[in-house]
A and B are shown apart, each in its own frame.
Chain A
């Protein structure tokens, strides 16, 4: 069955960096675009970034553009999110999700999430 397992979350000071990972199994990872989605405490879902199956295309939410970088290693079936210049408003649970359908616009399967807290 499809499994997405995020890791790398934790408590970090404002201005610092963190790298999240998402290990995928149960499907052909290299065939799918992948997303990061976050959810601040008590708030709704916010889309963060998408990467195409071949890593050639990447798009970001305006709130993270220039600070976050999405990448993937298809040989390791792993998705990454490098987060730099972190701000308190980046505090959230971060989910990875695979992108199904045309334009990879459907979040077909989700991980359990990893919590990031940005605080001094």
Chain B
């Protein structure tokens, strides 16, 4: 199964908002609300920031927000801060009972 589709890179200035898209198919995002987002800083393990499309774990800033429409999920970061610069990955459960990741998006804070 091919990876979910994410833009390779996005950028924004401090204080701005950005959105990262994650496009799948009817076999994954289109069927389940089991979409998660992860933040990964260089040399570190990924960190969960959004689960089940919209849920934010305790301790994660409310500047992070998730949504979904049809086969596409989105992560929006409001009020960009320098510390948000990282790689972001989406994941989804699939009809094959497997998991799949997006290719990852590098966020640059200008």
User: Which residues of A come within 8 Å of B, CB atoms?
Assistant: 35, 37, 44-47, 50, 57, 59-62, 95, 100-103, 105-113
A100-B32 Cα distance, complex, nearest whole Å? 15
Q: Quick one: which of A62, A103, A105, A107 contacts B46, CB cutoff 8 A?
A: A107
Whether the pair B103, A44 counts as a contact (CB closer than 8 A) is yes
Closest residue on chain B to residue A100 by CB atoms: B51
**B109 interface hit (Cβ, 8 Å):** no
A44-B101, A95-B45, A111-B45 given as contacts; is B96 within 8 A of A106 (CB)?
Answer: no
Which applies to chain A's interface (DSSP): helix, strand, loop or mixed?
Answer: strand
B97 touches A47 (CB 8 A): no
| Residues B99 and A113 in contact, CB atoms below 8 Å apart | no
Are B46's CB and A45's CB within 8 A? Answer: yes
Residues of A within 8 A of B1 (CB): 62
* Chain B positions within 8 Å of A112 at CB level: 45
Chain B residues, Cβ within 8 Å of A60: 98
Residues of chain B lying within 8 A (CB to CB) of residue A105: 32, 34, 36, 91-93, 99
Within 8 A of A (CB), among B58-110: 87, 89, 91-93, 96-104
- In the assembly, what is the distance between CA of A117 and CA of B103, in Å? 22
Cα separation A112 to B43 with both chains bound (whole Å): 9
- Beta-carbon contact of A107 and B48 below 8 Å: yes
Q: Which residue from A59, A101, A102, A107 sits with its C-beta under 8 Å from B38?
A: A107
Decide yes or no whether B47 CB sits under 8 A from chain A: yes
Given A44-B3, A44-B102, A110 and B97 touching (CB < 8 A)?
no
B98 and A106 form a contact (CB under 8 A): no
Q: A56–B6 Cα gap in the complex (Å)?
A: 33
CB-CB under 8 A for A45 and B98, given A100-B51, A112-B45: no
Out of A46, A57, A113, name the residue touching B45 (CB < 8 Å). Answer: A113
Q: CA separation between A50 and B98, bound complex, in Å?
A: 8
> Could you tell me if B52 and A101 are in contact, using CB atoms closer than 8 angstroms?
yes
Also in contact, A110 and B99, with CB within 8 A (given A44-B104, A103-B34): no
Q: In the assembled complex, how far is the CB of residue B96 from the closest CB belonging to chain A, in whole angstroms?
A: 7
